[in-house]
Structure 1
Amino acid sequence: MLNAAKTSIFFSKNTQAEFKDFLRSSAGISITSSYEKYLGLPALVGRSKYKTFARIEGRVRKKMDGWKEKFLSQAGKAIPTYSMSVFQLPKKLCNSLNSLVSRFWWGKNYESKREAGQICNLVLSPLGSADQIVWQGTKHGLFSVKSAYHLEMQHRKQSRGESSKTGLVERIWKTLWNLNVPPVVKHFAWKVIHKVKAIIEDFDGASAKMEKERRLSGPGRVRWQKPPVGIMKINWDAALHKENKHMGVGVVICDDKGDVVVALSKIVPYIVDPLTAETVVVWHAARLVCEMGFQNVLMEGDSLSVIQELQKQGPNGSGCGQLIIDTKSILSSLDSVSFQHVKRDANKVAHCLAKFALSQMLDKVWVEDCPPIIQPIVLAKQAEDY
């Protein structure tokens, strides 16, 4: 049974008036001239599906503009799942909805960009190794009360802000704020001093790190040497461009005569940490070795930390542990593999190729050919009978 009060009939423009009157009088229901929606959905879809469903985009935009806190549950509620379960939405509309969601998550404010950068910087296992929980307060990734204490003290120090009330720093700040200049000039000078201070601190930190690396590495070798007979030597290095958040990969494989057999120059995005960059490079080097079918290799790099991690046995809980595990897994099928640390001067060819990747922003592989960018270095070393 039909409820005549809630039922109406809609005719197309081609329907004759006599037929409309006959059907209305026979069925006892009213005629409507517009039937735009049924259960919130359009009852008729014309030639332009995008115009028909354009209201969906407007509703999604309105919801997202009104939200102040960005939670996944809220973003999920904005997706027109009911409409999509009934109609196949046009591709143009789907692209617009994707753009709205993308702008919602990766907005223009600083916090969103920072979060997006942190997500992009995550190094995932290329081989799909199982996830593991890592404590970043220690190098080995295991929690300790001591590391938690130091981390808390660091956070408290940062929350209190820097102290500038003693010695030379105090006199600088007092002189600055007592200057007879407009406030905007004082503020600009304050920003410049802070930036200079940050650069000096970064330089001091880098110098301390290099000094520690030098002490740990001992005398070391500063000249490249040919590998033993029947062994392929793989030199690898990374170069960083922190502003563009890219890293360059440089891998050079030489035979026991010192000739370049294979070389790789490659760009990897979203890597800004030096240790992570070196770990990513050695993974690419291991993959290149297996692709070329070499079985007896000597892996040589100037990152002592990565070399030590590769030489360790058992599980690896460090921040780059997954890549280390993957690299070992790739190399496990070879007949023999050894790892050796050298100074930067003995690793110039790989470093030069990594810098070349950043300058060219392209990926390239040379097989049985020496890249022109490193040819002068190779010829110079051969002249020295290295």
Structure 2
Amino acid sequence: MRVSDLIDPTTHKWNRNLLQGLFIPHEAKLIASIPICMNKVEDEVIWPFTPSGCYTVKSGSKFLATKQCRSQHISHTPNNNGLWKMIWGLSILSKAPSKPGPYLIQRVPIVASIPCRFRGSSHIPPSYLGRPKQIHHNRPASVKWSPPPLGRVKVNFGGALFKDIGKAGLGVIIRDCNGQAIASLSEQASMPFSPDIAEAMVAARALSFAQDLGYTSFILEGDSANIITAQSSNETSLSTYGHILSSAKATLGADSCVSFSHVRRSGNSIAHNLAKHARYVRGLLVWTEDVPPHLISVILTNHG
């Protein structure tokens, strides 16, 4: 039996009845979680130990070192036994003193040995010693969704993983230059092996959704930098999700004009809320010129 025999030729999806009949439940679930391309894609030789799928000397060395460590019982070698005896024989304080004393001052001679400047002075005021350092975190400004140019539409996509039920959520929304929703969807799918594969699945779903509605000129926008970079590149991606993106791009016609845009999560909140809504969806739900009622207020506040 070949792998192609396990795929339904009509739906281009795994034949779940056949999987359940041939494999144990755990194996059938793992196979069903592998995304399948809608059209034929050429096989590529990839290196699975880097995100890009390309071999590097560093990743090769790390792979060999990991393999060697697994094949040897390092913790039981004679050399390491002596090392651990030395570590456990060190004299260490059982409890640190509540107030700094001469013991700590002698062993932490940082202030005396490192020249530093405090407001123009080469000495640190005694009152400053021991004062907790205040760290100010500059949070990035919230980004809102920006409308496409006149005459074009923007297709935003987002994914979500529901590990407790073994499912993934796909969310897509298409909006015009006025921010009005043209169509949106929430779809539940089998949970893939990684979040990047889930984002690739929903990016491919967004392309097909826009084309099914007759759009050939649009902007595809998401918050996954890896997916957007791979989509906008003319080179074939050798990553674990590269075949999904290649299959989706192959469906674009010669007259298609699709550009790709990356945005922060805050500017892609509608798509992610649609993906989260897929938890309560069986299969697929599509809204025409609308979104789910609980997202109406979100789409109004998210419009920049």
Same fold (TM over 0.5): yes
Which letter maps to 1:365?
V
CA distance in 2, matches of 1:124, 1:99: 15
Q: Which residue in 1 is equivalent to 2:47?
A: 135
SS in 2 for 1:249: strand
SS in 2 for 1:319: coil
| Residues 188, 281 of structure 2: 8 Å contact kept | no
* TM-fit CA distance, 1:354: 0.3
Q: Does 1:296 align with 2:217?
A: yes
In structure 2, stretches of 5+ residues that fail to align are: 2-17, 76-82, 89-139
CA distance in 1, matches of 2:285, 2:74: 47
The change in CA–CA distance for 1:146 and 1:127 in structure 2 (over 3 A counts) is same
The change in CA–CA distance for 1:301 and 1:220 in structure 2 (over 3 A counts) is farther
| Structure 1 residue corresponding to 2:249, chosen from 315, 325, 328 | 328
| Structure 2 residue corresponding to 1:309, chosen from 230, 244, 253 | 230
Aligned 1:1-386 pairs, distance under 5 A: 102=22, 105-106=23-24, 113=26, 115-157=27-69, 222-382=143-303, 386=304
Q: Which residue in 2 is equivalent to 1:10?
A: none
SS in 1 for 2:293: coil
CA distance in 1, matches of 2:188, 2:278: 6
* TM-fit CA distance, 1:159: 5.6
Give identity over the alignment, percent: 29
* TM-fit CA distance, 1:144: 4.2
* TM-fit CA distance, 1:321: 1.0
CA distance in 2, matches of 1:123, 1:138: 20
SS in 1 for 2:170: strand
* TM-fit CA distance, 1:243: 2.9
Which letter maps to 1:375?
I
CA distance in 1, matches of 2:297, 2:263: 21
What count of residue pairs does the alignment treat as equivalent?
A: 230
Q: Which has the larger radius of gyration?
A: 1
CA distance in 2, matches of 1:250, 1:100: 28
SS in 2 for 1:134: coil
Which letter maps to 2:160?
A
Which letter maps to 1:302?
D
* TM-fit CA distance, 1:332: 4.2
Which letter maps to 1:149?
S
CA distance in 1, matches of 2:19, 2:148: 53
* TM-fit CA distance, 1:373: 2.9
CA distance in 2, matches of 1:364, 1:374: 14
The change in CA–CA distance for 1:355 and 1:122 in structure 2 (over 3 A counts) is same
Q: Which has the higher helix share?
A: 1
Which letter maps to 2:239?
S
Which letter maps to 2:190?
P
CA distance in 2, matches of 1:220, 1:278: 24
CA distance in 1, matches of 2:30, 2:171: 25
Q: Which residue in 1 is equivalent to 2:92?
A: none
CA distance in 1, matches of 2:156, 2:255: 17
CA distance in 1, matches of 2:187, 2:241: 20
The change in CA–CA distance for 1:322 and 1:376 in structure 2 (over 3 A counts) is same
SS in 2 for 1:338: strand
SS in 1 for 2:159: strand
SS in 2 for 1:328: helix
* TM-fit CA distance, 1:366: 1.0
The change in CA–CA distance for 1:160 and 1:141 in structure 2 (over 3 A counts) is same
SS in 1 for 2:45: coil
Which fold has the larger relative contact order, with Cα–Cα distance below 8 Å and residues 6 or more apart in sequence?
Answer: 2
CA distance in 2, matches of 1:244, 1:162: 38
